Amino acid sequence: MQMDPEVVAAALTAFTEIFVKPTIEKSQQLMGRAKDEFDYSRAAKAYHKRLIELYSKQRMLGKPDEVTITDLFTDVYVLDKQTALRRFDIATLREEGELRSMGRPGERKRGFPLVAEGDNLYILGKPGAGKTTFLKYIVTQAAVANLRKLPIFVSLNEWSNSQYGQSGQEALLPFIVEQFAICRFPDAKPFIEKLLESGDALLLFDGLDEVRQEGEQRRTLRRLLQNFAKQYSDCQCLITCRIAASDVMFEGFRDVEVADFTPEQVEIYAEKWFTEFPHKLDLFKAEIAKTENEGLAELCCSPLLLAMLCLYFNDVQAFPTRRAELYEEAIEALLKKWDSNRDIQRDYFALSARRKQQMFAWIAAQTFEENDYFVEQRRLVSLIEAYLARLPDMPADIDGQAILKAIEAQHGIFVERAKGIYSFAHLTFQEYFAARYIVENEARGTTKSLTQKHLGDDRWREVFLLTASMLDDGEDFVNQMRKQVDVDLAKEPALIALLTWADEKTQNAIVRDESQLAAIRLAYIYLDRALDRALALDRALALALARALDRALARDLDLALALALARDLVKTLNADVGVDFGLLYTWQYASIYGILDKENRVRYVQNMDEYSASFFPQVVDLVREQVDATRLCDRLAALVLPTGQDDGVAWRKFVDALAQILNEERDFDFTRKISYQQLSILNTYFNANERLLRCLELATVSNRAGIKARLLLPPEG
């Protein structure tokens, strides 16, 4: 999208009146030139137009064409206090909130109004936080007279590679003059000098971290920038730098840190990205909000990684089931692509990208195993040194501290969360690298150790899923999980009896494919244990059952929904399951009426009458339609139905009679007792089965349906 020509024309006029005429007149007087010797006004307009051409667009990772800044720019917010300067201990960081947010401290302020206040700002941010985009946005806004200073954008990386950045010749002013020439403003030195002396310049120095430290070049540049800001103190200076590369403070500058995107900013950015495809926007928002995409949502706080997710989603309109693919792309973007797109070279010890990732994986495995999301700096340094010491051709005196700072500055894989306390930039990255370590060391028994130690641990859920998706052959891993699932359950005869009963109920089930057998077993375990709150293997089915039963238990009664669910189970899963659910719900519903006190019985008279007149007869009809059992139907039809006028005694007699019928005709055992401790074991068992099923969906295996059909069977032997 191009800028509106009328806006550009108006901006040119304003620009000339505000900046050009006064400065030109003074510079011409100083030079003793007549106004007709050189048309500075025309040159200045050309410079202004060139500013818009150069800085109103930017390349985006993965996009073939440049993108107009205003098309995608989302308000930048800054923190008034740097994250790394907080003096918190690890316990405090853990208490701050969700681990996936990793803490977002400090007072948030909008970036552009802060710039408009006129202070010199040292703008720090993580890789891909949007620092350069922010400066370019400021240039475009200043160019249309939203700021009353003339913007001068200076790429410090370009300076360092120019003749003015070479050893012994370092100078800023000649480089700035050259930038004016590039912007079609020839012979600009007197104009620039007067502009600087008058304080009418807004100097934007971008990318201090992109200047190499070798040969003292960065140290020299810091001195030049500090002196430049002092010499032209009436001008406003903005300097950007990656957080970890900043080991100095600039005198007279206010330090601010670019804040992570909030969910609201993520939504605004997505709306701009998908502005031409609103249906894709709706799909994107729905997908990123799903629980299973929590790790992807975490990456959205970085504009760079959010752009990557939007780009991927724009192409396929879905996120991959194998989310490791996206994490791999994100890591690749941080390690190589982002800098290579801008011709920036960074390195330490000439480590290949693969070696770097192996180091991150080893560190992630060590720290995640010990439940360490936040790590003291000295420990992280020692882990880096320990890993590198194992590699060939490494020097004897490895400086782990310097390498940690290089990793933080160059890639943003590690982030300093408080003074001397680090973490991976995203918990998702730590999980991904921990899984990668397990996969790459499978021959050393890492997958077996994972299943034995952590199968029932929710903290390791994502590591399991990522491991399953990254293994070339997941058959052994899935079978290890299936065997481990039975280990704790084998010690509980009552639970084995429950699974055996559920399997027997499933034997005669007519199913579309054998993988449905596990879902039917699950349904019967739920029906037998109506009070259970375990995580479900078949989420849709189990949650529907649990919701219906929970409503009954909470006396938030919904007969119509329960009947509809029973009929739906008949159609979608199995006729016997639907019938048994209807009958069990009937028993549960009537049981509640049997224990109501007088006051509540009056309150629910209408519900009780509705039950007697409509719900129970329709359940009997459902049984008659689906089950070839005349005696069962006759016995149900012969039951004496209480009404709203009857007391609890009548309802309890009905409940006992119905329980006897269900026991004798449908094999429900209402005398089965399971302790709270056993329920806890059952919950863990469901967690493990749910994890196994999710891994099975991601793993490369030869007989997926067969493995799924064997789930929830009693332990063998």
Question: b/e map of 623-654 (b: 16 or more CB within 10 Å)?
Answer: bbebbeeeebbebbeebeebebebebebbbeb
The encoded tokens of residue 126 equal: 């993580």
pLDDT score at 161:
80
pLDDT score at 378:
93
* 312-342 pLDDT, tens digit each: 888 888 888 888 888 888 788 777 654 544 4
CA angle (693 as vertex; 692, 698 as ends), nearest 5: 95
Average pLDDT, stretch 490-507? 86
Mean pLDDT of the chain: 78
pLDDT score at 557:
41
Residue 233 DSSP one-character state: T
Q: Which CATH number fits domain 5-75+124-243: 2.60.40, 2.60.220, 3.40.1620, 3.40.50?
A: 3.40.50
The encoded tokens of residue 16 equal: 């000339």
Task: Please tell me the number of Cα atoms within 13 Å of 68 on its side-chain side.
Answer: 8
pLDDT score at 582:
83
Distance CA 155, CA 176 (A): 10
SS3 of 414, please? strand
Q: Are the C-beta atoms of 428 and 364 separated by less than 8 Å?
A: no
Query: How confident is residue 238, by pLDDT bands cut at 50, 70 and 90?
Result: very high
Nearest to 518 by CA among 534, 537, 490, 531: 537
Average pLDDT, stretch 492-509? 85
Q: What percent of the chain has pLDDT over 70?
A: 78
pLDDT score at 100:
47
pLDDT score at 296:
83
Q: Which helix (H) or strand (E) holds 625?
A: helix 616-626
The encoded tokens of residue 515 equal: 């993988």
- Per-residue pLDDT at 670 exceeds 60: yes
Distance CA 49, CA 54 (A): 9
Nearest to 348 by CA among 440, 282, 413, 284: 413
Q: Which of 214-218, 604-608, 647-651, 706-710 has the highest mean pLDDT?
A: 647-651
Environment class of 202 (CB within 10 Å of its CB; exposed 0-12, middle 13-18, buried 19+): buried
Amino acid in the structure at residue 82: Q
pLDDT score at 52:
76
Question: Phi, psi at residue 672, to the nearest 5°?
Answer: -65, 130
- Per-residue pLDDT at 11 exceeds 70: no
Strands 77-79 and 150-155: unpaired
The DSSP secondary structure of 543-573, one letter per residue, reads HHHHHHHHHHHTT---HHHHHHHHHHHHHHT
Average pLDDT, stretch 273-300? 86
**10 Å Cβ neighbour count for 320?**
13
Distance CA 15, CA 584 (A): 79
Q: Which of 259-273, 290-304, 533-547, 572-586 has the highest mean pLDDT?
A: 259-273
Greater pLDDT, 552 or 605: 605
Q: Given the structure tokens 């800044």, which residue do they identify? A: 69
pLDDT score at 468:
94
Average pLDDT, stretch 144-152? 74
Greater pLDDT, 115 or 572: 115
Greater pLDDT, 538 or 355: 355
Question: pTM, whole model, 2 decimals?
Answer: 0.64
Residue 207 DSSP one-character state: -
- Per-residue pLDDT at 102 exceeds 50: no
pLDDT score at 491:
84
- Per-residue pLDDT at 62 exceeds 80: no
SS3 of 664, please? helix
Query: How confident is residue 189, by pLDDT bands cut at 50, 70 and 90?
Result: confident
- Per-residue pLDDT at 671 exceeds 80: no
Distance CA 701, CA 689 (A): 17
The encoded tokens of residue 454 equal: 């952590």
pLDDT score at 33:
45
Query: How confident is residue 552, by pLDDT bands cut at 50, 70 and 90?
Result: very low
Could you state, in order of their start, the residue ranges of all structural domains in the chain?
5-75+124-243, 263-341, 487-698
Distance CA 548, CA 557 (A): 9
Strands 254-258 and 121-125: parallel
- Per-residue pLDDT at 560 exceeds 80: no
> Distance between the two ends of the chain, CA-based, in angstroms?
69
Q: Given the structure tokens 């999301």, which residue do they identify? A: 373
Nearest to 583 by CA among 624, 555, 534: 624
- Per-residue pLDDT at 410 exceeds 80: no
Average pLDDT, stretch 285-289? 90
Average pLDDT, stretch 26-53? 58
* 78-99 pLDDT, tens digit each: 886 666 555 555 555 555 544 4
pLDDT score at 614:
86
CA angle (367 as vertex; 366, 368 as ends), nearest 5: 100
Query: How confident is residue 433, by pLDDT bands cut at 50, 70 and 90?
Result: very high
pLDDT score at 369:
93
CA angle (367 as vertex; 408, 683 as ends), nearest 5: 130
- Per-residue pLDDT at 419 exceeds 50: yes
Cα 94 to its chain centre, rounded Å, is: 18
Q: Are the C-beta atoms of 269 and 71 separated by less than 8 Å?
A: no
